[in-house]
Chain A
Amino acid sequence: MYKIALIGDRDTIIGFKLLGVSLFPVTSKDEAVEVLDKLVKEEYAVIFVTEDIAGQIVEEIERLQKISFASITIMPAKLEKKYLGLKILRRSIEKAIGTDILFRKEVE
């Protein structure tokens, strides 16, 4: 059995507390990187990062996603949708097959 972790600002993730998910409220970029580095070495299979934090540590997330066992996923934050997850998805699609196949609305 593996654990589930949430990294993000406190207000967004606090609702998951009673479900027994491990919460890691962070506020700064350095803190987030530190927590993420620590979590991928532990028994976490899935790590969710809220968008506002993820936006600051995209490179770190993409790097760890490739090499670590855990799946690091971006979830939308409370305040606004930034479509960061979708952007990363598009980037990996472009990397893999060289063109954009999701002819969906523009998200810029």
Chain B
Amino acid sequence: MLLKVNPNRMELLRLKKRLLVAKRGYKLLKDKRDALIQVFVRLAKESDTVREELEENLLKCYTFFSNASNLMSKLTLEETLLFPKAKSETEVSFKNIMSVNVPQYEFKCEGKYYSYSLVDTTAELDGALKKYHDILPLMLKVAELDKAIALLANEIEKTRRRVNALEYVIIPDLEETIAFITMKLDEMARSTNSAIMRIKDIIRA
């Protein structure tokens, strides 16, 4: 589609500059998109395997815990779980992947989680808690990958839309308009030329 501009030399220069910028931007964005997809594919595959591992292990954890809780009376279990002493937190840092800020989590557990009387509880509970404690870093890893994938997918979609807009709309439009203005200017030059020639003939005669 032709842009709505006046066909003069100044406009032509301006459009030529814009075309240069658009072409350079297109190249850069295309590279960005390719790099993002490369990272994304790697992360997606990693997430797939890590998630599978987590699901397997977590189900094992649940089994351990139910075994433990079945061996104790409901009341004791409630009492045991009433006051946790430990505190699980996470440290967040950011990693920059192609200008997308992706969070990274580091698991921190303060205090002992064996905060109950060993007399009333079974050894299974200790084991189950240890398993839960060990699986949290894996859970955080999955969370990290999930977030990274959501953010990257968003960014890829955005970048792809920009690349397509440049490739199929802006650059063709600019080229067409530049061609139009060039032809118009040439036409004007020819018409002035012929007018001058005609005037010359009239004066001579």
Contacts and interface: CB of A to CB of B under 8 A. Distances in A.
Contact of A71 (B66, B103, B109, B132): B103
Interface stretch (B14-22, B23-31, B51-59, B187-195): B51-59
A27 interface: no
Given A18-B84, A48-B139, 4 more contacts: A18-B81, A74-B146, A93-B153, A104-B48
A16 B59 contact: no
Interface residues of A, number: 39
Given A14-B81, A71-B144, A20 B113 contact: yes
A46 interface: yes
Interface in B107-164: 108-111, 113-116, 128-129, 132-133, 136, 139-140, 142-144, 146-147, 149-154, 156-157
Interface residues of B, number: 57
B154 A66 contact: yes
B41 interface: yes
A29 interface: no
Contacts of B154: 66
A65 B147 contact: yes
Given A4-B89, A45-B103, A93-B153, A15 B61 contact: yes
Contacts of B128: 15
Contacts of A3: 89-90
B18 to A, nearest CB: 30
A95 B139 contact: no
B132 A96 contact: no
B111 A89 contact: no
A36 B96 CA distance: 27
Interface of B: 37, 40-41, 44-45, 47-48, 51, 54-55, 58-59, 61-62, 65-66, 80-81, 84-92, 103, 105, 108-111, 113-116, 128-129, 132-133, 136, 139-140, 142-144, 146-147, 149-154, 156-157
A74 B146 CA distance: 9
Query: What are the nearest 7 A-B pairs in CB distance?
Result: A71-B147, A96-B153, A20-B87, A73-B143, A15-B65, A92-B153, A20-B86
Nearest to A76: B55
Dominant secondary structure of chain B at its interface with chain A: helix
B44 A89 contact: yes
Contact of A20 (B44, B88, B146, B156): B88
Given A15-B62, A17-B84, A20-B88, A89 B48 contact: yes
Contacts of B140: 4, 46
A51 B155 CA distance: 27
Given A86-B48, A102-B45, A19 B157 contact: no
Nearest to A22: B88
Contacts of A20: 84-88, 109-111, 113
B108 A19 contact: no
Contacts of A72: 146
Given A92-B149, A96-B153, A73 B45 contact: no
